Structure 1
Amino acid sequence: MDVIYLKELRKKMRLNQTNFAKSVGVSRQVISQYELGKKPFSLETYRKFKQSFGFEECESGRLRFMIDYLRITFMSVRDLEHFTKTFLLIPFKEFHSYETKLMMYNHLWKRGDIWIFDYHDKFETNNYQITIQLSGSGCRQLEVMLEYYDWTWQDLLANMRLAYGADMKVTRLDIAIDEVYQGVGQEKEQFQLQDMISKYYKQELYFDKMKKFNFIGGGSLIYTQEKYEEERQGISLYFGSRQSEMYFNFYEKRYELAKEERISVEEALEIFDVWNRYEIRLAHKKADSVVDEYINGVDLAEIGRGLINSRVTVYDGTNAFGAYLADSKWQRLFGGTEPLTLSTNPEPYDIRKTINWLRYQVSNSLAMVKEFDKIVGEDNLAYILNSGEVTEEAEKILLAIQTDVELRKGDYVNYDEVV
């Protein structure tokens, strides 16, 4: 394991080698040998060191993860009817046409909150670029179709990437993380966002590389029945800049839900089961690379926790040597014993999912083309099959499959020859 993780940990603890060594129960010489690369540094040792400062594994069931906003641009899509049916699993006739001036486009197709931007004069200009945009409600609407066809977000994005390769650019991805309400009488077990404000002033809130931290909300005074009462509106915390490629927004979702539904906060907690929401907003290259991690099999929860842990650490007091100790409530949610990387052992893309997708989504259309060719004496089916090309991403997948097949052949033993 790279010793850079050890050096970063010591930096976050704000300790010299001597006090760091005392905190983790080893000699200063051992820490020096680790950092100089003279002694092998293992993942197990890293975990033990972090546990000395209160870092622990997260507790399952405390968070729910979802894709809550998605925007993808495709450089050239000539057949929107085929695109919506094949990738969005929605017939094109369900989309309605509108004029627009958003995002430099002049035309928009809408089906609820699932939007497709294109150009009304694309045939004249030969510009077939499109952008699909799904708001939070749009993501929920598309999930209905995914569930009906037994697809996952990974299946959807993987098939898009396989078909369009580098011509597919993910320009916006939001990951929403809901903190699950633990029930009446367990409110003290929930994480209080207002504590992060006080921790900021006590220097117990570490937000590496985000630079900016801001907060709004809390409450206001309202006049009711000849007296003033406090009305809680919920706290929102912001890390980073909206113009950057990664931006966090943490807020008390329970207050927002209560206001939207015109019910009490207590009722909102019982109905929606959500305490806080932690939003990760990704843009451009960061969004595109995270989608690739997701396509390659990295779980959305692992990605979400990894991104937050890579930027934000919450502490609660110090030890005898002045090192900050990890906040236990925050650790139950996001953990912190693992190195801050997204991908460890991503599973390879399963091409058989694509074969099944072609079988169930495209085969009927191809069969119709085949019969059409018989009637009119043309060869459109062969033209369609020969029009495609193996993209760079597809070449990587096929090479991995070929290597695996060859390895399996090498493991085969001819028992007749052995006898």
Structure 2
Amino acid sequence: MTAKDLANLIERTGLSQREFGLKVNLSHVTIQNYLKNKRKITEEIEKQIKVALGQSADEKLNIELHVHFDWIRLTFFDSTIEKVMKGILGIDPKYFHYEEKGLLGYDENYSCGNIKILKSPDRPEQGIMLELTGKGVAEMEEFLLEQGEFSLVDWIVLVTDPDYAKDKELYTRINYPRLDLTIDELFKRHGNYDLHDFEQRMKKDFERLIETDLKKLGNHENYERGVSLGLTIELGSRGGNFVLRMYEKAKEIARKENITFEEALEEYGIVNRYEMELKNHYAKDVIDELAVGKAINDIAINLLLSKVAVYEEVKDDEGHISYQFHQPFYDVFGSSDNVKVNNKSRKSDFESSMKHFQMQYSAFIKSMFEVYGEEWTFEWLKKIADETVLNRKRQKIVDLEKVKLKKHENGAFEWYSKHYNI
């Protein structure tokens, strides 16, 4: 295992260097020495790391997702170019090239490779913008790796911390114009998700088979001599705060680098990319969650699955149609049984309502029994239910709960049935 292999492994776990060290029983200093090539990673240490991560010693790493930032754009107010260079990036100003060239509405830009700082001297109210495109993020990550102090996640949490900024007098306020959080689905021997399946569900019955508040921005797929160059699906609003792009990354790489699909897989290992372009409060919320110790993997998956749910039709023996989660889609991110949305399990929504009903209304129903009698109260409740029309979203939940009930997967129903012997 090389220093770069270790760095990639730490990044893919979504842990900080310190957290990774604790997990594999190595000190933070030791981890840094390995990353700086000051110490060699022996076969014994490699085995220790793999075993600690739940892998057999002779098993090749089989990580199926890679979650990372692919674009970072931050705006700092009441700051200076030198403060951004030295205090935020940690890069000596002598490595930056100055151009009096407009970009993104700014008049001047300073670049170090693909790391750019933008400023308009006559419009200080614009603030100073830090622009890291995909290549810029990669270069910043490489720089941080060479320094051996922070991962990219550690760095972005630190420089956006208002207390740190105040202590170092770096800026008084920060905006988050863009943050791209990306989930790469890596090649799996047992097969990967086909984005055409998602596309077909959109075409067949978008409202029933795809649940989302995001607008359809369009699907794009070009062909060359009858061969697909890659499908892209976009959901969200142009210029909005959240846009989701799902596309066949391996085919994009093959097209851009003029190599075969198989060569793209061999070199990069990425099949599909699920890219969330976040702005303003969405971007800030992600960084705030990182700041309190949440793993970037969990943040990205939870956010994506809070925006999109994928269903499939299920027919029972009598031909009645109900809907359940479409397992192949959720297998990319984890079983649908364990999907978390905003830190709440999807399968507990209906059960939580049952618990809420018991806690909030049991005393009132008891009072109605005492005043009006059980028969009248039950008849009253039935009349209310009979007159209620379920909207499409609620009916979908009901259909899903029926399927779960047959599989004995509604924990609240099972518990109440046993507890009250009903």
Coarse TM-score class (shorter-chain normalised): 0.5 to 0.7
TM-score by length of 2: 0.59
The equivalences for 1:11-410 within 5 A come to 61-78=63-80, 80-120=81-121, 129-149=127-147, 150-160=149-159, 161=161, 162-164=163-165, 167-183=173-189, 186=190, 189-203=191-205, 205-220=209-224, 222=225, 230-320=226-316, 322-335=321-334, 336=336, 337-341=338-342
Whichever residue aligns with residue 234 of structure 2, its letter is Y
* Matched-pair contact (CA < 8 Å) for 1:171–1:285: no
* Partner Cα distance (1:342, 1:170) in 2: 23
2:238 counterpart SS class: coil
Going from structure 1 to structure 2, the CA distance change for 1:192 and 1:128 (only over 3 Å counts) comes to closer
1:140 shift after superposition: 0.3
Going from structure 1 to structure 2, the CA distance change for 1:342 and 1:102 (only over 3 Å counts) comes to farther
- How well do the aligned residues superpose, as a CA RMSD in angstroms? 2.3
1:346-394 deviation digits (Å, cap 9, x = unpaired): xxxxxxxxxxxxxxxxxxxxxxxxxxxxxxxxxxxxxxxxxxxxxxxxx
How many residues are treated as equivalent by the alignment?
Answer: 269
- Between 1:312-321 and 1:102-111, the stretch displaced more is 312-321
2:341 counterpart SS class: coil
* Partner Cα distance (1:136, 1:324) in 2: 39
* Identity across the alignment (%): 27
Whichever residue aligns with residue 246 of structure 1, its letter is F
1:120 shift after superposition: 4.0
TM-score by length of 1: 0.60
Which consecutive residues of structure 2, in runs of 5 or more, have no partner in the other structure?
1-61, 167-171, 346-422
* Partner Cα distance (2:343, 2:79) in 1: 31
Higher relative contact order (CA 8 A, sep 6+): 1
* Partner Cα distance (1:333, 1:326) in 2: 13
Going from structure 1 to structure 2, the CA distance change for 1:209 and 1:294 (only over 3 Å counts) comes to same
1:208 shift after superposition: 1.6
Going from structure 1 to structure 2, the CA distance change for 1:126 and 1:339 (only over 3 Å counts) comes to closer
1:233 counterpart SS class: strand
Aligned to 1:348: none
1:55-89 deviation digits (Å, cap 9, x = unpaired): xxxxx8221111000100011113x3343223212
1:327 shift after superposition: 1.9
Whichever residue aligns with residue 210 of structure 2, its letter is Y
* Partner Cα distance (1:323, 1:329) in 2: 18
Instruction: Could you list the structure 1 runs, at least 4 aligned residues long, displaced by more than 4 angstroms after superposition.
Output: 125-128
1:87 counterpart SS class: helix
1:80-131 deviation digits (Å, cap 9, x = unpaired): 334322321211111111123333321110111111011345xxx7668211
* Matched-pair contact (CA < 8 Å) for 1:99–1:108: yes
* Partner Cα distance (1:205, 1:218) in 2: 25
* Matched-pair contact (CA < 8 Å) for 2:102–2:109: no
